[in-house]
Amino acid sequence: MRRALHAEWTKLRTTPGTGLLLLTVVAATVGIGVLASAVTDCRAGGCTVDLAKVSLTGVQLGQAVVAVLAVQVIGAEYSTGMIHLSLTAVPRRLTVLAAKALVLTAVVTTAAAAGVAGSLLAADRLLPLAVTDAAVLRAAAGSVLYLVLVGLLALGVTTAVRNPGAAAGLVLGLLYLFPLIGLATTDPDFRRHLDQIGPMAAGLAVQATTGLDSVAVSPWRGLAVLGAWAAAALLAGGLLIRLRDA
């Protein structure tokens, strides 16, 4: 496993574009976060919105970049045929997948932490938000975990479908489909159900710091729903890569 990890780290490090994608994760997260914080006006009669959630809005764009990076981690190997070489070098296929998951987790955690910290620093200046509040810190840490789980979901899906284009479409579809159905529906109960099971809506519940008694799903439980999606995707990918001919 140590050798497989070393190999995957070398691969990721020497893939052109990895650094740029990680910087884009940070820039997208902070950029949209700053924008959202800047346009929120709390002077007249105080704020009714969840300020922590507002300051972390950028995560919703950052996740798309994380998904693209995660798809590339194994999708590029399938499109070039290099996966055969990887599996020839490390015939234990679950070890290859686990090593990829670990290096991906490491780099996404770093980029996500930078993006989330940047968003909170901006919010600290722009909004009347106590960023050291326990609930705000939970929303911040949860957002980092959210981005990591989106990455693992994308890795699992790509391993299962073996085609980077199809995988990117599937992952983004999975993330944005539930909110879109929610927009199209008028039934509040149905919409609440969608928010409880959709990977994006449920996962982002971890950013909620106000009105916690009326949310569709509680913060950590919501993140656990996304965790279940990611686990299911990795399980499917793991089973298929193990059982299928390469």
17 binds another protein (CB under 8 A): yes
> Residue 30: which residues within 8 A CB-CB, separation 6 or more?
58, 115, 118, 119, 122
Three-state secondary-structure class, residue 178:
helix
Q: How far is C-alpha 63 from the chain's CA centre?
A: 5
Per CB under 8 A, which region of 3-11, 38-46, 115-123, 197-205 contacts another protein?
3-11
What minimum distance in Å lies between the beta carbon of 114 and another protein?
24
Q: Which amino acid is at 40?
A: T
Compute the least distance from the CB of residue 41 to another protein, in Å: 46
At 13, give phi and psi (nearest 5°).
Answer: -65, -35
**Which DSSP letter does residue 245 get?**
-
Tell which positions 143-162 bind another protein, by CB under 8 A.
none
Residues 98-137 contacting another protein, CB under 8 A: none
One residue of 23, 42, 90, 216 binding another protein per CB under 8 A: 90
d(CA 121, CA 102): 28
Our CB check for another protein shows the closer of 139 and 241 to be 241
Of 24-32, 85-93, 118-126, 138-146, the segment contacting another protein by CB under 8 A is 85-93
**Residue closer to another protein (CB basis): 107 or 114:** 107
HSE, side-chain direction, 13 A CA sphere, residue 21: 21
Question: Token digits for 231?
Answer: 């686990």
DSSP state of 127: S
Choose one: 11-19, 132-140, 206-214, 232-240; the region binding another protein (CB under 8 A).
11-19
**Size (the chain), residues:** 246
The answer to whether 115 touches 107, Cβ cutoff 8 Å, is: no
Q: Which stretch binds another protein (CB under 8 A): 12-20, 158-166, 203-211, 227-235?
A: 12-20
* 221 is a site residue for another protein (CB under 8 A): no
Residues at the contact surface with another protein, assessed by CB under 8 A:
3-4, 6-11, 14-17, 76-77, 80-82, 84-92, 245-246
